[in-house]
Amino acid sequence: MKIGKNNIAIGFLTMGAFMAYGFLLIYLRDFAPGKEEWVASYSSGKHFETRLAHVHGNLFAFLNILIGYLLLHFQSNLTNAKTISWLALIGLLMPIGILAEVYLGASPIFVLIGAIAMTASVLWLGVAFYKMKSINV
């Protein structure tokens, strides 16, 4: 199995979804009935949370693409590549969790789990590259 392939595929799919979500945010800001109220809440409440999800969704999707690419090409030289891959994928719970909070009233636990998982995957991959003895590309 090629470790990292799922990160790339899911990363692109997630990025596409959060980019499309950006169109909803544009609609709410510029065209929806009551847009003035939406704009007035720019830095608080649901408006702020949805923007936070949009930005972090795209960032975490991009990180999955990058992490997946690096794992795909360097997995034979890195330790714990599968764990790093899974942690990066679990990290997507952070932006999805924000939307679940806003629209479904879900617990913020998913945001916390996702944030910790993504941070751990990035740090772990950094340490793995630092400790890498040689590169066989």
Distance CA 19, CA 112 (A): 23
Per-residue pLDDT of the chain (137 residues; tens, 9 = 90+): 799 999 999 999 999 999 999 999 999 889 999 888 888 877 888 889 999 999 999 999 999 999 999 999 999 899 899 999 999 999 999 999 999 999 999 999 999 999 999 999 999 999 999 998 866 65
Distance CA 36, CA 25 (A): 13
pTM exceeding 0.85:
yes
Distance CA 43, CA 84 (A): 34
Q: How is the chain split into domains, by residue range? A: 5-131
Length of the chain as a residue count: 137
For 132, the token pair is: 């890498």
